[in-house]
Structure 1
Amino acid sequence: MRLNTLRAPGVITFLATILLLSATSYSEERKEKRSHPVPESLCGTTVGAESLGSFMPPGERTHQSEEKGDASWFCAVSVDGEEIFRVSRKWWEPGWSARRFASAQAYVQPDHEAADGSYVYSGKGAVGAVRCTSEGKKWDLFIVAKATEKSAAGAEDMEKFITAYREEFLNTDPCAEV
């Protein structure tokens, strides 16, 4: 069966419009069913609700838990008892790129990279590098963000988050901890 070539662009446009409307209504539906507030910060690091809102599914309650170790730290956000989003920081040997760390240590497969190489990201994860060795320190610090499958956020949302978090975190003088 041959499709009339004059009608094919119309069919494609129609299907694209249907998909766009479905995605928009799904996003609006998620907001309508969300009765919990979107956090403005993650365990003390302010990122703004607009950076986290896309990751938060419908639900009643949010909770944050924080854990610190000698060479690592993490903050997990849960909705109704189920972990939705996690940010961690890990001290690591110098010379690693954000892309190498993402694949080898953070189990994040990045699709995109910042022009300066300071962070990489995909729809479900991101890694940002903080170069403490350039300040004469022994280690570099890597920030890892991961969203679970329940998150409807995409790559643009993850990039918005990692840039906001990294910028705010750099204001705290993170290399002083080494």
Structure 2
Amino acid sequence: MAAVLAIGAVAGFSSHEPKRNFATPTALCDTPIEGKLLDPVLPRSGETISMRAAGVIGWDRCLVSVDDEEVMSASFEWFEKGTKPVKVAKSQRNLVLVERVSDDGRYAWGDRGAVSHVTCPNPKVSSRKGTYELLASVYVVDAAKEEAMKKLVLGFAGAVSKSEECSG
């Protein structure tokens, strides 16, 4: 009887848990970011990860795919001064961030995305200074932990503030 149970345990409960076969990136397209910020929001399984940059003047976007399926995007875009992160988030389907807004109103987050103001005192395009504000956004297809989304958007906003976009 014990032998039957042992065989049943091996045969019936062998775990084929999906495995992640790609390395966690250390950049979102051309924007460096700590891998530890990306790791919790990426799928737990998959063979390959790829990124594709898109954008126009004043708006950059990085689309991240695992096994050719889009899993997240990160972007930064210039908005009129006074634009709130919650307003930017409303442009994304299925994303509501009104309940989780920082005390100072600089960022908002949820389990599928987050938006943050970017400190950019020296914009590449000098006419934006004082008239426009740069906001960074991250969105994921599958829900992630809210705290991970908050950390990711703050890390991404910090990285964008050090990028060419803000080194006028």
Give yes or no for TM over 0.5: yes
Match of 2:109 in 1: 121
Between the two proteins, the alignment pairs up a number of residues equal to 144
- Structure 2 gaps of 5+ residues are 1-16, 124-128
For the 8 Å contact 2:120–2:166, the answer to whether it is kept is yes
Match of 1:74 in 2: 61
Q: CA deviation at 1:175?
A: 4.1
Q: Distance in 2 between matches of 1:160 and 1:65?
A: 23
For the 8 Å contact 1:38–1:53, the answer to whether it is kept is yes
Match of 2:34 in 1: 48
Mean alpha-carbon deviation: is it higher for 61-70 or for 163-172?
A: 163-172
- Say whether residues 1:85 and 2:72 are aligned partners: yes
Match of 2:135 in 1: 142
Match of 1:35 in 2: 21
- Structure 1 gaps of 5+ residues are 1-28
For the 8 Å contact 1:137–1:175, the answer to whether it is kept is no
TM-score (norm 1): 0.71
Q: CA deviation at 1:70?
A: 2.2
TM-score (norm 2): 0.75
Secondary structure (helix, strand or coil) at the match of 2:23 reads coil
Match among 34, 46, 50 for residue 63 of structure 1: 50
Q: Which amino acid aligns with 1:51?
A: L
| Structure ranking higher in helix proportion | 1
Q: Distance in 1 between matches of 2:110 and 2:24?
A: 22
Same amino acid, percent of matched pairs: 26
Q: Which amino acid aligns with 1:124?
A: R
Match of 1:168 in 2: 159
For the 8 Å contact 1:72–1:90, the answer to whether it is kept is yes
By relative contact order (CA 8 Å, sep 6+), the higher-ranking structure is: 2
